[in-house]
Amino acid sequence: MKEKVRELIEKLAAEHSLTVSEYQTLIEERTDEAAELMAAEAVAVRKRIYGTDVYIRGLIEISNICKNDCYYCGIRRSNREVRRYRLTPEEILESAAAGSELGFRTIVLQGGEDPYFTDEVLAGLIGEIRKHCPDTAVTLSMGERGYASFKRLFDAGADRYLLRHETADEEHYGKLHPPEMSFEHRMKCLQELRGIGYQTGAGFMVGSPFQTTAHLAKDLKFIETFKPDMCGIGPFIPHHQTPFADREAGTLELTCYLLSVIRLIHPPVLLPATTALGTIDPAGREKGILAGANVVMPNLSPVGVRRQYELYDGKICTGEESAECLVCLKNRMRSIGYRIVEERGDIKNGCL
């Protein structure tokens, strides 16, 4: 490994900050040896804060109806081949109750931007979940909404909100999204969520079309300055019915490297080993945990609809990654020296 890279890793571990061009060097000049050192530092810092605990989130994909048309996404509105579904409030509440029974203490409601899920409908669902499972955190991942909407849902009891920024470079954002979507609005939403009091999640895809190392360096700087409570990163994986069907997927190697970097930038961050990582490699999620991640998000949606929430080709959804097979997941985590805990798993700020 180049001396310069070793120095940058040590600086990052000590100061949790680098310049954009240093981040770029860290990415461009990485070697297997650098990745090993980075992961060792990341795991050490993560163990100081979270021990060997891995938090679980029960993910309910409430609707694949979406008014958006992101070029990378399999459930974009222009994809006429998708069989669309929307769970009923009863189905959602049943899934949440089943998750609580299984030991989940965070429920994530994720969906496309489906106009059916008005503030009233969502607030009702959040209230019901809070009433029946008072010790369970509610996370929303429902896309961009207005300030008043975010506020109302927070007041209804939602604790966290996931909204990946997708890329911190405005021009790159424009190449991944249709003209009616704006980088500025995305960032505004993130600021509003934070201001309202949500534990706020950002994130991006690794290896998305047109992405350069300079873009990734900007993403890292954004993470450093915004300090999201959660950060979802996973490899881009093409979906055959999108404009990016023929693009290459992101790699396991770079995703794991960036997980380690992000852990060092913002030590207490809640960092999932994502489904996309588990999709490109059968042991992807374990590798993510070993790189510094500390969260996994098994699927709690009714089995009958899981295949329809296909953001990218081959998305794993009925095997060991699912919530029913928590025992398999527990064993997998135990086999690498970690343990799944039945806790809300809030961010431990101020631990370092």
Q: Which residues bind ligand FES (CB under 6 A)?
A: 66, 68, 70, 73, 75-76, 112
For residue 315 the two structure tokens come to 């998305």
Decide whether 23 or 173 has the Cβ nearer to ligand 5AD.
173
Report helix, strand or coil for 83: coil
3 contact partners, CB below 8 Å, separation of at least 6: none
Q: From the CB of 178, what's the least distance to ligand FES, in Å?
A: 9
Q: Considering beta carbons, is residue 166 or 192 the nearer one to ligand 5AD?
A: 166
339-341/53-56 β-pairing: parallel
Backbone torsions φ then ψ of 26, nearest 5 degrees: -60, -35
For the record, the structure tokens of 317 come out as: 């959804």
Contact partner at residue 75 from ligand 5AD, ligand FES, none, CB < 5 to 8 Å by partner kind: ligand FES
Query: Residue 119 in 3-state DSSP?
Result: helix
Of residues 235 and 267, the one with the C-beta less far from ligand 5AD: 235
Quick one: 5 or 202, whose CB is closer to ligand FES?
Answer: 202
Whole-number Å distance between alpha carbons of 80 and 61: 19
Q: State the minimum distance, in angstroms, from the CB of residue 180 to ligand FES.
A: 12
Q: How far apart are CA 106 and CA 114, in angstroms?
A: 22
The site partner of 68 among ligand FES, ligand 5AD, none (C-beta below 5 to 8 Å per kind) is ligand FES
Nearest approach, Cβ of residue 333 and ligand 5AD (Å): 23
Check: CB of residue 255 under 8 Å from CB of residue 233: yes
Residue 72 or 154 with smaller CB distance to ligand 5AD: 72
> Any residues with CB less than 8 A from the CB of 182 and at least 6 apart, and which?
173
Residue with nearest beta carbon to ligand 5AD: 312
* Least spacing, CB of residue 233 vs ligand 5AD, in Å: 9
Binding status of residue 57 toward ligand 5AD by CB under 6 A: no
For the record, the structure tokens of 329 come out as 């997941």
For binding to ligand 5AD (CB under 6 A), which residues are involved? 72-73, 164, 166, 205, 234, 236-237, 239, 276, 311-312
